[in-house]
Every structure is written in C-alpha cells, then in structure tokens.
C-alpha cells in the first residue's frame, strides 16, 4: 500500500513538473520549433558590404534564436538569378530575400521610392523616414498584394555618379551614352538623352570592358575597388545625385513570417535593424580608405560633375518623380510623405549637419 502511494505521488509530481514546464515557457510547441529558411539575394555571395550584410543578418538571427531559425544565404544565380529574388520570395521558393526595392519597378513603379530618390534623402534621413516618418507602413502596404513583408536592412550612404571613359562637360555629353544606372537615376539618364541599362553587379565589369555599356554607376569606393572598375574606366565622377542614401531591402514571405512565433519575429526585426546600421558603418569606414587607394595606388582621376549638369539632372528628376506620383493613389501618398519629410529634414539639417560641416572646414 505504501509503495502504491509512493508510486502515485511520484507520478503526480512528474505530471505537475511537466505542466509547470509548459506554463513557464508559455507555449511548449513554438518555443522548441526549429526553422530552416533560405535567403536569396541580388548580390554575389559574400560580396563586400551588400552580400556580407545579408550573411551578417543570417548569423545574428541564428545566434539570437539559439539556432531555432537558421537561414542559408544564396548569392545571385545560385538558387535564382539576381532579378528574380522578388518573385522567388513572393511565391515562397525562398522565405527571404535581400536586395534593393528599385529593382522591382516592373512590379510597382513606386517601389523605387523605397531605395532612393535622386536628390532625395541621405542615409540618416532615409532610415529616419522609414522608421519614424511613416515610410515602413507605406512600404508594407505597397508589398501587401505580393505577399511580402519588407524591412530596411542596410544602407550604403551617398554613392558616386559613377565611372566614365569620357569627360562630362555639359548635359550634351550624356546624349547617346549607354550607362548602367538602375531605378529613378536610370530614368533621369534616359530623359537626359542617354540610354540607361540595368545590369546586376556581378556582370558589370565585363559589360564595361566589352563595350556593352559606356559608363556605369555601382556604389562607391569600397565596392567599386572590389570589382576593379579602375582597370576599365578613367574617370570617377561625384556627387552621387542618383543614390544619396539608398536603403537595402530585406524581403520576407508573408505566409512564412506568420508561421514564426512572436519571439522569432522580434529577432528578425531586431537583426534587420542592427544590420541596417551596421552596413552603413562599414561603408563609411571602408569608403574612406578605398578612395585613398583608388587615387594614390591606382591613379584614378576624380572629377566633379559641373553645376549646370547637376541642375539639369535635378530638374529632370523632379519631373520624373511627379510623373510616378501621378501614376497611382499609393504612389502619390508615398511621394507626398517623402517630400514633406525631406522638406523638414532639409530645414533642420541646414542648421545642424550642413552648418556643422561648414564649421569643421573653417
């Protein structure tokens, strides 16, 4: 009898412990569930800055989730070609993607607004608009019909005008020029009389070398040095009017995202936010040293676009942005949101950032 009582007591105790475990962990099912996801990217595998940003994101998520969410990162062309990332994630071929929204203007013209607007927001302002100015909500609304949840996940800072083999002395020199420039910058080049071409990063060197294109813009010193564009082009022009603070994009398939428990969703969001800043920090540090190397070791000729060329490009940019804004109700709302944010940011930055840069030079 005593033995029977003891056995019952032990059973009860174990049963209780089991229940307690479940209660303490909230939901016993999801807290132990493991996910193995694929991430397709528009960048070459492990490419400096851009590709490493995606890699870094995956590593952070795995570490923060103690291995409950593992993400395998694929470079462009490994699972799907660079420009099929959007469809692959939308359709669930991969749960995640990393790239830039302006590659998807074929899906929605307003997508370009979420990378960069020529003469628009810089990196600091772009991130601020996305996270505190209503940008993210508009981005999610735009991608809703594609079954995608977007996040900001990196920024390169101000880019360069790009690489040329002839000097740009007036707007006439853009005429007939076949230049790789994606997004709205490309639209501006085309309207200025050039021929804008969109080619993924990994194919640029050969395209320029074989004369498929006459000029190109990619990113800035750090990335451009890595691709060796100084070997095939003479002049390196600035300023980066077309991409003043381009946001990189993390895409998540909406159905897949909904299957994640709340803590893993928060980890994805937090890792994206961390990488968003981390990529910019890396670019800022590496661009500085890469520019010195391009000029001093590789003899690159650094040139500034003439003021009247910049003014004409800005006039055309405003025209094009207005046309896209008129294209749909949501495009209008996005454009209005960015433009009113930029107006405020410009007024404040005139007496903060700009005034400070000026003071530092004196």
Comparison of 28 and 195: residue with beta carbon closer to Ca ion = 195
Comparison of 173 and 243: residue with beta carbon closer to Ca ion = 243
**Length of the chain counted residue by residue:** 362
Comparison of 159 and 287: residue with beta carbon closer to Ca ion = 159
Comparison of 127 and 200: residue with beta carbon closer to Ca ion = 200
Q: Give least dist CB 279 to Ca ion, A.
A: 14
Phi (first) and psi of residue 117, to 5 degrees? -115, 130
Strands (E), 189-231: 195-197, 215-216
- Containing H/E element for 186? helix 183-191
CA angle 212, 218, 223 (to 5 degrees): 125
Q: Give least dist CB 159 to Ca ion, A.
A: 5
Number of residues that bind Ca ion (CB under 5 A): 2
- Calpha distance 203→193 (Å, rounded): 24
Comparison of 116 and 300: residue with beta carbon closer to Ca ion = 116
CB under 5 A: which stretch of 35-43, 147-155, 224-232, 239-247 binds Ca ion?
239-247
Environment class of 72 (CB within 10 Å of its CB; exposed 0-12, middle 13-18, buried 19+)? middle
Contact track, Ca ion, 70-109, x by CB under 5 A: ----------------------------------------
Q: Give least dist CB 245 to Ca ion, A.
A: 11
CB under 5 A: which stretch of 208-216, 238-246, 271-279, 340-348 binds Ca ion?
238-246
Other beta carbons within 10 Å of 225: 21
Count the alpha carbons within 13 Å of 52 in the hemisphere toward its beta carbon: 12
- Calpha distance 336→293 (Å, rounded): 41
Q: Give least dist CB 257 to Ca ion, A.
A: 28
Q: Give least dist CB 220 to Ca ion, A.
A: 8
- Calpha distance 345→123 (Å, rounded): 12
Q: Give least dist CB 345 to Ca ion, A.
A: 22
Q: Give least dist CB 224 to Ca ion, A.
A: 10
Q: Taking the C-alpha atoms of 313, 316, 321 and 322 in order, what is their torsion angle to the nearest 10 degrees?
A: 150
Comparison of 99 and 261: residue with beta carbon closer to Ca ion = 99
CB under 5 A: which stretch of 59-67, 169-177, 227-235, 243-251 binds Ca ion?
243-251
- Sequence-distant (≥ 6) Cβ neighbours of residue 213 within 8 angstroms: 178, 179, 180, 197, 199, 204, 207
Comparison of 108 and 181: residue with beta carbon closer to Ca ion = 181
Q: Give least dist CB 247 to Ca ion, A.
A: 12
- Calpha distance 55→356 (Å, rounded): 35
Comparison of 42 and 159: residue with beta carbon closer to Ca ion = 159
CB under 5 A: which stretch of 57-65, 88-96, 235-243, 275-283 binds Ca ion?
235-243
Contact track, Ca ion, 125-164, x by CB under 5 A: ----------------------------------x-----
CB under 5 A: which stretch of 17-25, 51-59, 208-216, 237-245 binds Ca ion?
237-245
Strands 69-74 and 301-304, by their bridges, are unpaired
133: tokens are: 């100015």
Provide the binding-site residues for Ca ion, judged by CB under 5 A. 159, 243
């Amino acid at each position: 009898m005593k033995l029977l009582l003891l056995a019952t007591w032990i059973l009860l105790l174990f049963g209780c412990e089991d229940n307690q475990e479940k209660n303490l962990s909230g939901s016993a099912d999801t807290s132990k569930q493991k996910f193995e996801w694929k991430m397709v990217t528009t960048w070459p595998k492990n490419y400096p800055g851009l590709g490493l940003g995606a890699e870094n994101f995956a590593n952070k998520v795995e570490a923060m989730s103690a291995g409950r969410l593992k993400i395998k990162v694929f470079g462009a062309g490994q699972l799907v070609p660079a420009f099929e990332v959007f469809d692959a994630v939308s359709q669930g071929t991969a749960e995640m993607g990393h790239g830039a929204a302006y590659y998807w203007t074929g899906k929605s013209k307003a997508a370009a607004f979420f990378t960069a607007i020529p003469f628009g927001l810089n990196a600091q302002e772009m991130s601020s608009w996305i996270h505190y100015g209503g940008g993210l909500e508009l981005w999610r609304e735009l991608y809703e019909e594609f079954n995608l949840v977007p996040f900001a996940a990196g920024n390169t800072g101000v880019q360069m005008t790009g690489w040329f083999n002839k000097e740009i002395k007036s707007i006439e020199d853009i005429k007939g020029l076949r230049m790789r420039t994606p997004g709205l910058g490309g639209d501006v080049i085309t309207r200025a009389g050039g021929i804008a071409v969109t080619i993924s990063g990994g194919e640029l060197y050969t395209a320029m070398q074989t004369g498929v294109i006459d000029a190109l813009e990619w990113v800035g010193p750090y990335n451009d040095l890595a691709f060796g564009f100084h070997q095939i082009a003479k002049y390196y022009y600035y300023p980066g009017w077309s991409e003043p603070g381009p946001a990189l994009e993390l895409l998540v398939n909406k159905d897949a995202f909904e299957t994640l428990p709340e803590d893993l969703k928060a980890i994805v969001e937090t890792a994206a936010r961390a990488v968003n800043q981390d990529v910019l920090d890396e670019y800022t540090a590496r661009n500085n040293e890469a520019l010195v190397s391009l000029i001093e070791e590789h003899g690159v000729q650094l040139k500034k676009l003439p003021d009247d060329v910049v003014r004409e490009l800005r006039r055309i940019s405003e025209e094009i942005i207005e046309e896209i804004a008129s294209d749909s109700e949501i495009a209008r709302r996005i454009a209005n949101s960015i433009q009113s944010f930029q107006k405020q940011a410009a007024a404040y930055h005139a007496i903060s950032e700009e005034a400070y840069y000026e003071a530092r030079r004196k």
